[in-house]
Amino acid sequence: MERTPVGIILNGVTGRMGYRQHLVRSLLTIRDQGGVPARDGSRIWPELTLVGRDAGRLAEIAERHGLSAYTTDLDAALADDAHQIYFDAQVTAAREKAIRAAIEAGKHVYTEKPLAEDFLASLELARLAAAKGVRNGVVQDKLFLPGLRKLKRLVDGGFFGRILSVRGEFGYWVFEGDWQAAQRPSWNYRAEDGGGITLDMFPHWHYVLEQIIAPVTAVTAVTATHIPERVDENGGHYRATADDAAYGIFELAGGIVAQINSSWAVRVHRDELVEFQVDGTHGSAVAGLRDCRIQHRGTTPMPVWNPDLPVTEPFRAQWQTVPDNGEHDNAFKVQWEAFLRHVVDDEPFPWDFLAGARGVQLAEAGLRSAREGRRVTIEEIPR
Ligand SMILES: NC(=O)c1ccc[n+]([C@@H]2O[C@H](COP(=O)([O-])OP(=O)(O)OC[C@H]3O[C@@H](n4cnc5c(N)ncnc54)[C@H](O)[C@@H]3O)[C@@H](O)[C@H]2O)c1
Atom of ligand 1 nearest to the CA of 54: 37
The pLDDT value recorded for residue 1 is 81
Cβ atoms of 143 and 268 closer than 8 Å: no
Write out pLDDT tens, residues 197-253.
999 999 999 999 999 999 999 999 999 999 999 999 999 999 999 999 999 999 999
In 10 A of CB 318, how many CB atoms?
12
Question: What radius of gyration, in Å, describes the C-alpha atoms of the chain?
Answer: 22
Cβ of 139 less than 6 Å from ligand 1: yes
Does 88 sit in the ligand 1 pocket, CB within 6 Å?
no
Is the minimum distance from the CB of 18 to ligand 1 under 6 angstroms?
yes
Atom of ligand 1 nearest to the CA of 90: 24
Q: Is 287 in contact with 194 (CB distance < 8 Å)?
A: no
Distances (CA, A) of 320 to 169, 311, 375: 20, 20, 37
CA distance 339 to 25: 15
The protein residue with its alpha carbon nearest to ligand 1, atom 18, reads: 15
Strand order, beta sheet including 283-287: 320-321, 292-296, 283-287, 274-280, 163-171, 257-263, 245-252, 216-224, 376-377
What distance in Å separates the CA atoms of residue 214 and residue 46, rounded to the nearest whole number?
35
**Ligand 1 atom 7 nearest Cα:** 17
Q: Which atom of ligand 1 is nearest to the CA of 57?
A: 37
Phi-psi region of 237 (alpha: psi -120 to 50; beta: other; left: phi over 0): beta
Nearest to 216 by CA among 352, 368, 376: 376
CA of 98 to the centre of ligand 1 (A): 13
Ligand 1 geometric centre to CA of 138 (Å): 14
**Under 8 Å between Cβ of 155 and 163:** yes
Contact 96 CB / ligand 1 (< 6 Å)? no
pLDDT score recorded for residue 316: 95
DSSP lists the bridge partners of residue 247 as 222, 261
Let me know: does 152 contact 160? Beta carbons within 8 Å: no
Q: Are 288 and 197 in contact (CB under 8 A)?
A: no
CA dihedral 65, 69, 71, 73 (to 10 degrees): -140
> If the chain, 383 residues long, is cut into consecutive pieces of 10 residues, what is the mean pLDDT of each piece?
96 97 98 98 98 98 98 98 98 97 98 97 98 98 97 98 98 97 97 96 98 98 98 97 98 98 98 98 98 98 93 94 95 98 98 98 98 97 78
Ligand 1 atom nearest to 14, measured from its CA: 39
